[in-house]
Amino acid sequence: MNIRTLLLLALCSPLSATLLPAATSPHPTPAAIAAAPHPFFCDEVYPAWTRMTPRQAITDIRAAMAESKERLQTLLSVTPEEATFENTFLAWEAAEEHLRQVQSCMYHLTNSAGSPELQQAMGHIIREVAESQANRPELPRIWQLLNTAASAPWVQDLSPAKQRYIRKVLLELHMAGAGLPPEQLARKAAIEQELKYLGFQFNENILSEDSDWQLLITDPAELAGMPERWMKQAAEAAAARGLATADTPAWLITPHNAAAILSRCTVPETRRRCWPGICTTATAQGKDNEPVIYRIMELRHELATLLGFRHFADMQAATRMTGSAEKALAFVDDMLQKSKPAYDAWTAAQMERFSKAAGRPLSTLNPWDERILSRHLPAQKSGFDASVLTPYFEAENVIQGMLKLWAGLLGVTYTELPTACPAENTPCPADKVEVWHPEVRCFAVHDTATGTHLGSFYMDLYPRKGKRGMAWSMPLRAGKPNPDGSVGEPNLATLQANLTSPRPGQPHLFNHGDLYVLFHEFGHISHMILGHGEVRSQAAIGVEHDFIETPSQLQESWIWEPEALATFARHHETGASIPPDLLQQLAASRKESPIDMHMRMLCASKLDLELNMFFHEKFKGKPLDTVAAELLRPWQFPYSVPVPTEMRTLTHCISEGYAASLYTYKWSEALAADAFSRFQQEGVLNPATGADYRKTILNPGSSKPAAQLFRDFMGREPDPTPLLNRFRAK
């Protein structure tokens, strides 16, 4: 995650006071917020969003950078004899606290309330911060100071969590090149600068293809099977480019929306015509991402060896649960081997269907037919269509039902707070929490037993202009713990989604896919709000990258469970519960998870790892498509035509967060499926199991190694069997 780079019952009315008591901590007064000179890093619980203007962002980032320099100078004045945990490692943590907060708030605003002015300000901030950190002459001195402090006798008297934090800081400084001599540090900076440029070029090559290829459809019959929303957007795109009018409608297909054609359109010829829009992206002369990828691999290898690692994949794994690239690759290879029987059975079924459709025996599949066959095969297998459940998912019932479910499991209460969205620089009413859009809601989370305010989160669920697509959750501020390590300040996070919007005069219903997004993102929110380490940086977002999706993937499991859905899913007209037979069919349908998508992710993960581990041995000097096809041939479908590798468009593999780490999605999914098996054994609504989940996985944040968190909850090492069981042979 995500920046990471993240949600919710049985009643249409607001939750009762019995279930959700009023918040016990006071809200900040608008006067206090208005008096704060820097709203982007104001220390109040709830930020003043309307004061966070583009101009103010520039002011605050510069103030934060100046403050950071002052704090670093104070840190560097500490002598080894004076050193303590507080004036060294905690001082280092606090040095860029406000700098991080400005960037976090700006990232949030540009994605949820974006405007050209905000985007421009964000670009300016990124450049200023990058320039200020490109050459940091104080870094070697900081490294020497903290490295010396880490070997002091008093370190042994610290708690395991604080010692873990010290090790993490030293590793981060090592990764930053703090221990390198000046010439190598300069080379590292040059490599990273070129990698940033190449990452930009990689994305530009993808986007530029978006405008080069297009297909105009004038007969709606050629788009049979496409949903109404897609048709409307394609028609608007054609009209916007002057290719259609009210009298002569047309539908424009570009690489941006062509993937949906391959999944939904029932006209084979239309799918065939759309295939170039998918497979030629980032392949044209001058826009081909292959040389970009190869140059990135060269630079990554140089960077890793500069820092003492064998290759970039090992460098990335140093901060992951796996600890080594070999362990990550072994996991992927093992999953491929164990998934192969189910995939072979699926392949045979696909070929049989394809042969019947063609009217003759065939041994290969047209790649433009694969997605639609995959989409319809599970439905034909079980005969279950999840859309029949939509009438039971009245939106507010779902939101309130999810809150009630997790309140009971986690031993917390959720209190919805009154909100207001005042005009820019206008004070917010004293009894309300300020939000960035009128649709945004805010909830405070308290421990049921003690009343402690653990955190608050915003909920922004519907699409609108200026808000990016998909769904995500992110922390906005980690609460500072008390000196004894107990919960001090509350955490703050936001849940963003693009669920089915309400329509005037119609019941507001979610589909099962909306529930999936909601519960998944709420898993992130549970982690972000309840995770409190002994050190501020040990909030939940600091866990190893291959564990960060585990709570979200775990908590999405409840949308398949009859016992859980029975607590809140009611027919919006009759109030009736979902019939037991439909609930059982839904639960069974999860075991028919698409094995092809599972294998596709594993194949992409294998290619990602192999590229970063063995670039010089296997790829350099050879065509990327050729090497990739040979490497993945045992695991992929036999196609009728050559299929270009997806690596040219897999931005996750180029981005910093998932570089040489694409496997973490499947790693986390395996952990989540295994953890859920305990709930299945002990009861999916069992509060004792929920309390243990909160205690062992959520509450510690990143104060313990993720592997230890998992062992604390399960009492053993991870087992991939529960995940593999979802992909039974079909």
Domains and CATH numbers, the chain: 36-180 (1.20.1050.40), 214-279 (no CATH), 390-589 (3.40.390.10)
Closest CA to 395 of 462, 440, 463, 297: 462
3-class state of residue 189 by DSSP: helix
Residue burial 434-452, b: 16+ Cβ < 10 Å; e: rest? bbbbebbbbbbbbbeeeeb
What percentage of the chain reaches a pLDDT higher than 70? 92
Give the distance, in angstroms, between the CA of residue 350 and the centroid of all CA atoms in the same chain. Answer: 32
The pLDDT, as a whole number, for residue 9 is: 22
Please write the tens of the pLDDT for every residue from 670-721.
999 999 999 999 999 999 999 999 999 999 999 999 999 999 999 999 999 9
Is pLDDT of 12 > 80?
A: no
End-to-end CA distance of the chain: 32
**For residue 34, what pLDDT is reported?**
46
More confident residue, 281 or 322: 322
Task: Classify 84 as helix, strand or coil.
Answer: coil
Alpha helices in 213-324 (DSSP H): 228-240, 258-264, 268-279, 289-306, 312-317
Task: Let me know: does 496 contact 473? Beta carbons within 8 Å.
Answer: yes
Query: From CA 704, how far away is CA 713, in angstroms rounded?
Result: 13
Condensed to tens digits (0 to 9), the pLDDT of residues 368-394 reads 988 887 666 544 455 578 889 999 999
Residue 654: predicted pLDDT: 86
- Predicted pLDDT of residue 592: 67
State yes or no: pLDDT of 402 exceeds 90.
Answer: yes
CA distance 512 to 496: 18
Please tell me the least confidently modeled range out of 513-522, 563-572, 649-658: 649-658
pLDDT score at 41: 87
Can you spell out the DSSP letters for 122-177? HHHHHHHHHHHHHS-TTHHHHHHHHHHHHTSGGGGGS-HHHHHHHHHHHHHHHHTT
Tens digits of per-residue pLDDT, 520-554?
Answer: 999 999 999 999 989 999 988 789 989 999 999 99
Which residue pairs from 333-341 have beta carbons closer than 8 angstroms and sit at least 24 positions apart in sequence? 333/606, 334/720, 335/602, 335/666, 335/670, 335/720, 335/724, 336/599, 336/602, 336/603, 336/606, 336/635, 338/720, 338/724, 339/595, 339/598, 339/599, 339/602, 339/724, 339/727, 340/635, 341/729
- Max mean pLDDT range (249-263, 504-518, 656-670): 504-518
Taking residues 13-26, report their average pLDDT: 31
How many Cβ atoms from other residues are within 10 Å of residue 17's Cβ?
Answer: 9
pLDDT-derived band at 18 (thresholds 50, 70, 90) equals very low
Tell me how far apart the alpha carbons of residues 569 and 335 are, in angstroms, rounded to a whole number.
35
Give the Cα separation of 672 and 667 in Å (integer): 9
Query: What is the β-pairing status of strands 419-420 and 433-434?
Result: parallel
Q: Residue 695 gets which letter from DSSP? A: I
Chain center to CA of 118: 22
Query: What's the Cα-to-Cα distance from 534 to each of 260, 479, 486, 538, rounded to whole Å?
Result: 47, 11, 7, 7
What is the SS3 assignment for 215?
strand
Q: Which tokens sit at 617?
A: 């041995």
Lowest mean pLDDT among 31-40, 493-502, 505-514, 646-655: 31-40
Residue that has been written with the tokens 């009315």 in this structure: 13
